[in-house]
A = this chain, B = another copy of it.
Amino acid sequence: MAEYFPTVKKIKFEGPDTRNPLSFKHYNPKEKVLGKPMAEHFRFAVSYWHTFKGLGQDPFGLPTMIRSYDVADVDQMMEKTMEAAFEFMSKLGVGYWCFHDSDVAPEGADIHESRARLDKVVKQAKKLQNDTGIKLLWGTCNLFSHRRFMSGAATNPDPAIFAYAGAKVKKALEVTKYLGGEGYTFWGGREGYETLLNTDMGRELDHLARFLHMAVDYKKQIKFKGQFYIEPKPKEPTKHQYDFDAASCHAFLLKYGLDKHLKLNLEANHCTLAGHSFLHELEYASANGILGSVDANRGDELLGWDTDQFPTNIYETTMAMYTILKMGGFTTGGLNFDAKIRRQSIDPQDLFHAHIGAMDAFARGLKGAAKMHKDGAFAKHLKQRYAGWDTAFGKKIESGKATFDDMEAYTLKNGEPQPKSGQQEYLENVLNEYIV
């Protein structure tokens, strides 16, 4: 087996004072934080599509990156790319990966050839998983690149294309099960619209729900035990994506009785594209019991498209880990680096720098968050701020026993209430002391 990253050795933890950029300065996988090894807190995964298949093309330019495994012969390319992927992940020291069917096996001349390619490469992947101990965090299916899906997959105006998507997801579920995947993600690639002039929104949403119910049924049928995720994104590629944000997914799941079957896979950059902070979406999903997994990346808030940058902002990693700690940590989910190196970062080593920086940023975030957690830095303040709700009067309201008559009586008796400072600036100063 060839070596594809010969200039890079296994990445090690060397601590903050090292001068070696190809080492971890903060991420120490076995170091325990709040009693659990760092690696288990994060459950880091590498995205096959960006890291091994993304070659720097953009809407205004051709690929910029030249890779030794990207050979002309499709069969060899598939095999070599898979080898390179496991070499990379082993050297990086992550425990998980994620992929779409078409990432590992480009579509062939027809569905038969596509499936034959997929079967071959997942067999190779299974062996490499066994050899390395690297596991599949979740599988997924590409329902957006081929021209047949240009008007959506499950929401396509043509049921023949809905059917094609169903056949493709069926196979992807089988493959995910075969590889021991711990989950399966539905990202609504082109489930949305370009113009309402040619769209029956209600009917399309009904079809999307039917599709997911079929998936839920098939999961039972094949006894796949992984968690299903739906992934919000507001726009891009389509003008409007139905799974706009956590709340719109929540409405959809509730309306169609799917809330027991799917959780959310939240991507940071999708959150900001929807006009929310990443933290907002994490808190919303957590508060509603539907936070499942995270696509860890970063957007550029001045740009209106999905930049999918590697997450390096310590404010964001700190607050994300704080929310994840509050909900008790991941169960089936993890932090998948759905992130790509910049088009100008053409060296293979840039892939390592990108992942190392992100893992270190999360390690710093976890340390700060764990300290917040131990200190009760914000929890104590919160308890005090809402203390009125823990009194008899507050509890009466919360329990559903109070009426507007009670509210009026209380107010007429007690007069003008006294507002209290929200202390935002003080709390922001406190937060800064946890940026480590």
Contact = CB atoms under 8 A, between A and B. Distances in A.
Contact of A163 (B56, B287, B407): B407
Interface stretch (A36-44, A85-93, A126-134, A387-395): A387-395
A421 B350 contact: yes
B419 A166 contact: no
A93 B429 CA distance: 18
A234 interface: yes
A203 interface: yes
Nearest to A55: B147
A9 interface: no
B342 A422 contact: yes
A157 B388 contact: yes
Contacts of A237: 58-61
Interface in A364-388: 364, 378, 381-382, 385-386, 388
14 contacts: A21-B429, A62-B146, A163-B397, A195-B428, A200-B386, A205-B287, A217-B403, A277-B302, A312-B429, A314-B432, A342-B425, A350-B426, A357-B425, A360-B429
A210 B419 contact: no
Contacts of A305: 59, 236, 304-305
The 3 nearest A-B residue pairs measured at CB: A304-B304, A166-B407, A344-B422
Contacts of A280: 196, 240
A391 B254 CA distance: 29
Interface centre among A341, A404, A431 (most CB of B within 10 A): A404
A144 B343 CA distance: 12
B303 A414 contact: no
A426 B247 contact: no
A210 B400 contact: yes
Contact of A393 (B159, B346, B405): B159
Given A148-B419, A397-B210, A167 B412 contact: yes
B357 A203 contact: no
B410 A207 contact: no
Interface centre among A63, A346, A419 (most CB of B within 10 A): A419
Nearest to A347: B421
A375 to B, nearest CB: 11
Contacts of A165: 407
Interface stretch (A67-75, A176-184, A268-276): A268-276
Contact of A432 (B277, B350, B360): B360
